[in-house]
């Protein structure tokens, strides 16, 4: 591969990643059905990660957590599991995290950083 080809490859790879995780259009040369299937699987994996780390959010959301989270996450790049959980709850009006003594310090710090948004 020549140096002239590398920037084009990098641009195509970045476009593919955006299509997979941020809901952007599938770049030319890629099978839209395959990219769509992989994007779907990645969204469900992301929902499982949030659910595994924050089961109380799943409980607060209700039985349709996965569907609601996937719909919410479809056009949002991942910020991290806890940040995703906090943004999802805030933007979808889910009463989480519940105020309680001993709430994890890391989540409290993250909440402080997200407040300006």
Q: Is the peptide bond before 7 cis (omega within 30 degrees of 0)?
A: no
Q: Where are the domains of the chain?
A: 5-114
Quote the pLDDT of residue 97: 86
Residue 55 · residue 95 · CB < 8 Å: no
pLDDT tens per residue across all 117 residues of the chain? 565 556 688 999 999 999 999 889 999 999 999 999 999 999 999 999 999 999 999 999 999 999 999 999 998 989 899 999 999 999 999 999 876 555 556 666 676 677 665
- List % helix, strand, coil for the chain (3-state, nearest 5): 65, 0, 35
Distance CA(47)–CA(113), nearest Å, equals 22
Distance CA(92)–CA(72), nearest Å, equals 8
pLDDT in tens, 30-59: 999 999 999 999 999 999 999 999 999 999
Beta strands in the chain (DSSP E): none
Quote the pLDDT of residue 4: 56
Quote the pLDDT of residue 98: 76
Distance CA(22)–CA(39), nearest Å, equals 9
- CA-nearest of 60, 57, 116 to 84 is 57
């Amino acid at each position: 591969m020549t140096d002239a080809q590398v920037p084009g490859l990098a641009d195509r790879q970045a476009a593919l990643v955006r299509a997979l995780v941020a809901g952007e259009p599938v770049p030319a040369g890629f099978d839209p059905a395959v990219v769509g299937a992989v994007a779907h699987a990645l969204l469900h994996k992301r929902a499982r990660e949030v659910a595994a780390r924050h089961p109380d959010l799943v409980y607060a959301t209700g039985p349709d957590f996965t569907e609601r989270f996937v719909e919410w996450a479809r056009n949002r790049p991942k910020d991290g599991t806890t940040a995703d959980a906090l943004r999802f709850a805030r933007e979808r009006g889910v009463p989480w995290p519940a105020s309680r003594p001993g709430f994890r310090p890391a989540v409290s710090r993250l909440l402080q950083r997200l407040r300006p948004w």
